[in-house]
Amino acid sequence: MTAVLDKKPPEHGEPGRGSSERITALLRARELSIVLLIALVVLVTTINNPHFLDSNSIQQLLSGAALIALLGVGETLVIVTRNVDLSVGSVLGLSAYIVGDLFKYNHIPVWSGFVIGTLVGVVIGAVNGFIVTVMRVPSLVVTLGMLYVIRGIDGVIVSGDRIDPSFIPSTFTAVGYKNLFGVPWLAIIVAVVVIAVGFAMRSFRASRDLYAIGSNPDAAALAGVPIERRVFTAFVISGTLAGFAGALFLALHTTIDNSGGAGYELKVVAAVVVGGVAIFGGSGTVFGAALGAVLLNTINQALVASRIDAFWNDAIAGALLLAAIAFDRWLSLRVTRSLQSAERAHREL
Amino acid sequence: MTGIPKARRVATAALAAVLAGGVLAACSSTSTKSSSNSTAPAGSGSASSSGGAIKKGLKVYFIPKDTQNPYEVLADKGGQKALQELGGTVTVSSGTADTAAAQLPSIQAAIQAKADAIVIAANDPSALCPSLNKASQAGIKIVAFDSDITCGTSPNHLFINQADTKTIGTSEVDLLAKQLNSTGDIAILSAAASATNQNAWIKYMKEQLVKYPKMKLVSTVYGNDDPATSLTVLQGLLSGYPNLKGIISPTTVGISTAAQYLSTHKDVAAKVTLTGLGLPSQMKKYIKDGTVKSFELWNPSNLGYLAGYAAASLASGTAMQAGATFTSGSLNKSYTMAAGPGELSVVLGPPTVFDKTNIDQFNF
């Protein structure tokens, strides 16, 4: 991280348009820096142990990050608007169980597993969005509540049962482990979503509104941005992707009880923040979020492959998170400073 | 969604109807409590192996954590079988949620029915103590299984331990050693690094490995009982130790995740043998396709069966004290109560090994 900080002094800007270009450049640099960091981790680990680049290992690097990356896409949309969705892990668990249950008892066709899982997410996302925008309850409270409500509903539906691998159709589970030209289908599916949403976030007016809302809600309202509608949509998309992720979770792990996806919300927020999405809203890209997920997964796998004591995993992931948040803070201060004159008031922070 | 509970309700109701004679009303009762009464045909006369004075017509209340948990249902059935052999009856009663509050009415019911013994899997180690104490004062013998109560001496009770820590650890190493010809690098895929039971088992695994000088434990990794994390550390393990020959995963999430990985990566499965603690129904697919040869767990049905025998013996006058013995029907063993850490207990015995030959008999 420090290497990046030193390398990217944004000192040669002009006022006006130039500063926004500079911000974009910095964000891009952030994604580039994550790519470089991933490359560094892979390189160091490979020098240590060449087997880290075996095809099985690379495939797991990708598919292991895929679900968190997918959840990270929706989470990015929400966080960019200065909100947060903590219910994604529970939504994933509920969706996965419902799909598994339908496979076991109703023998539904394989394709409908994905559709139904996604619909579960749509519904919960809409409820989240409704409570946040119409009833104006802070999203942290709403989605934290939903985290428990959904887990509770899940518990009632599961009622001590478990869906075992033998009940999941093999064509469904194939999505979880089959490869296309050596690339896991799971990674391909998620990459398509990341690229599609990433493109939309850059190009469409509605998605630019999300950034405006997160940067300055009052200004966005004055500028005529339909804040409620946009935030609602962001929650629905987050729920939708979490529901879809639930179906993929089932395809990958082939068994589900009522603990599926527990604790994922924090992994997702961690990946998103490491990926350069400002936790206070207003900036960040889904590409960064997805790369953040890949980075965290790569570190976990690399530590074990390097024969480093597994106890270090959480500490290192946590340190990275702190570094990322500190970097965000530093960045926003830097930008503020250059937008004002050359004042140095905030340097101590 | 309600497939399992409904099916089970119908099944238990049918059982009750056959045995007790037409209590079909229970079928439509879908309140928060579902209980089944199975009245054993008296005088089946197989109490001969119990070696003594078990009273006839004993009433034993089985209070599982809840009435739906497949594991507990098997244990209850084991208890019913035991009392059937002894000419007594079992009433299974509990709530549908795993809370102490849901078990209190069942304890109350046992007191009112003047039961001879209560066999309970406690949802809370201490919250049930006052209630159980009342039962004990009413002359009901208290037996705990699956999950113990810690009430000190009031009420005095016997805990049926599914398997002792040491045996679980050592037997898993033995199981893997048998498949590996006692040779090669092995690793452990555990749950959370802080899990007390996991660490205790791992400690005994390490001690047992001393007996196999050609087997070397190269690493212990932690999947936190999350399938995704388990997969990540498993792959790290496989690339970190290319000569790895065996993996022990003493956690159901770990072993099923690793089994799914091996079943879809035949190249790895050809080199690496997996065993550990698993659930038969979850592992059935991998035993059948040959990915996993054998794994183990205690047998819940035997656990309930032993608890039933213990309850009947205590209710028939066997003293509740260290050194007291009782027999156990078809388990063919005399059990001696031992003073554990403050509590009286017996250990069921070594875990059951599941493989191709018996996997179909288990449904939990």
Per residue in A54-111, pLDDT (tens digit) is 999 999 999 999 999 999 999 999 999 999 999 999 999 999 999 999 999 999 999 9
| pLDDT on residue A214 | 93
Inter-chain contact B239–A159, Cβ cutoff 8 Å? no
| pLDDT on residue B341 | 60
Strand locations in A68-186 (E): 179-180, 183-184
| pLDDT on residue B4 | 44
Tokens of B45: 């006369």
What count of other Cβ atoms lies within 10 Å of the Cβ of residue A105? 16
Q: Please give the radius of gyration of chain A, using alpha carbons only, rounded to the nearest integer.
A: 21
Contact A202, A76 (CB under 8 A): no
pTM of the model: 0.78
Rounded average pLDDT over B131-135: 93
SS3 content of chain A, % helix, strand, coil (to 5): 75, 0, 25
User: For A16-339, CATH number?
Assistant: 1.10.3470
Which residues lie below 8 Å from residue B140, measured CB to CB, with a gap of 6+? Answer: B110, B111, B115, B116, B117, B118
| pLDDT on residue A13 | 39
Tokens of A108: 């539904």
Closest partner CB to B5 (pick from A101, A159, A177): A159
**B49 vs B149, which has greater pLDDT?**
B149
Q: Which residue of B has its CA nearest to A261?
A: B226
Q: Nearest to residue A150, comparing CAs of A111, A103, A98, A191? A: A98
Q: Which residues of B touch A64 (CB under 8 A)?
A: 228, 231-232, 235
Q: Which residues of A touch B96 (CB under 8 A)?
A: 159
Inter-chain contact B69–A160, Cβ cutoff 8 Å? yes
Write the DSSP assignment of B267-284 as a string of letters: HHHTT-EEEEB--HHHHH
Report H helices in A159-204: 170-177, 185-203
**SS3 of A15, please?**
coil
Q: Nearest to residue A207, comparing CAs of A16, A110, A76, A15? A: A76
The reply to whether ipTM tops 0.85 is no
Q: Which residues of B touch A67 (CB under 8 A)?
A: 228
Would you tell me the crossing angle of helices B252-264 and B280-288 to the nearest 10 degrees? 20
CA–CA dist A268, A297 (Å, integer): 11
Residue A341 C-alpha, separation from nearest chain B C-alpha, in angstroms:
48
CA trace torsion A322, A326, A327, A332 (10° rounding):
140
CA–CA dist A339, A332 (Å, integer): 10
**A11 vs B212, which has greater pLDDT?**
B212
Q: Which residue of A has its CA nearest to B223?
A: A310
A338 band by pLDDT with thresholds 50, 70 and 90: confident
Q: Which residue of A has its CA nearest to B71?
A: A160
Query: Each residue of A114-168: pLDDT tens digit?
Result: 999 999 999 999 999 999 999 999 999 999 999 999 998 988 888 778 899 999 9
Inter-chain contact B236–A252, Cβ cutoff 8 Å? no
A18 band by pLDDT with thresholds 50, 70 and 90: low
For residue A323, is pLDDT > 90? no
Contact A192, A199 (CB under 8 A): no
User: What's the CATH superfamily of B165-297?
Assistant: Response regulator (3.40.50.2300)
- Residue ranges of the domains in chain A? 16-339
Inter-chain contact B235–A49, Cβ cutoff 8 Å? no
- CATH fold for domain B49-162+300-349: Rossmann fold (3.40.50)
Strand locations in chain B (E): 36-38, 59-63, 89-92, 117-120, 141-145, 157-161, 184-190, 215-222, 244-249, 273-276, 295-297, 325-327, 334-336, 338-339, 344-347, 352-354
Mean pLDDT across chain B, nearest whole number? Answer: 83
For residue B52, is pLDDT > 60? no
Q: Which residue of A has its CA nearest to B228?
A: A64
Rounded average pLDDT over B124-140: 90
For residue A311, is pLDDT > 60? yes
Q: Which residues of A touch B233 (CB under 8 A)?
A: 300-301, 304, 310
The H-or-E segment that residue A113 falls in is helix A110-133
Q: Which residue of A has its CA nearest to B289?
A: A166
A255, A267, A308: which to substitute to probe chain B, counting the most B Cβ within 10 Å? A255
Q: Which residues of B touch A297 (CB under 8 A)?
A: 232
Q: Which residues of A touch B285 (CB under 8 A)?
A: 164-166
Rounded average pLDDT over B192-200: 84
Inter-chain contact A310–B221, Cβ cutoff 8 Å? yes
B239, B267, B271, B283: which to substitute to probe chain A, counting the most A Cβ within 10 Å? B239
- Residue ranges of the domains in chain B? 1-30, 49-162+300-349, 165-297
For residue B38, is pLDDT > 60? no
| pLDDT on residue A26 | 62
* Percentage with pLDDT > 90 across chain B: 53
Q: Which residues of B touch A57 (CB under 8 A)?
A: 235, 238-239
Closest partner CB to B239 (pick from A57, A166, A311): A57
A144 CA to centre of own chain = 17
Q: Count CA atoms within 13 Å of residue B134 on its CB side.
A: 13
Q: Nearest to residue B49, comparing CAs of B302, B329, B315, B318? A: B329
Q: Which residues of B touch A300 (CB under 8 A)?
A: 229, 232-233, 236
Closest partner CB to A297 (pick from B69, B232, B285): B232
Size of interface A-B (CB pairs under 8 A): 116
Q: Which residue of A has its CA nearest to B69?
A: A160
B262 CA to centre of own chain = 27
Residue A202 C-alpha, separation from nearest chain B C-alpha, in angstroms:
31
Q: Count CA atoms within 13 Å of residue B348 on its CB side.
A: 26
User: By a Cβ cutoff of 8 Å, what residues of chain B touch chain A?
Assistant: 1, 3-5, 66, 68-70, 96, 98, 193, 219-222, 225-229, 231-233, 235-242, 256-257, 260, 264-265, 267-268, 279, 281-282, 284-286
Inter-chain contact A177–B264, Cβ cutoff 8 Å? yes
Residue A150 C-alpha, separation from nearest chain B C-alpha, in angstroms:
16
Rounded average pLDDT over B290-297: 94
Inter-chain contact B68–A254, Cβ cutoff 8 Å? no
Contact B159, B142 (CB under 8 A): no
Inter-chain contact A159–B68, Cβ cutoff 8 Å? yes
Tokens of B140: 């009901």
Tokens of B138: 């009413």
Q: Which residue of A has its CA nearest to B65?
A: A160
Inter-chain contact B240–A160, Cβ cutoff 8 Å? no
B163 band by pLDDT with thresholds 50, 70 and 90: confident
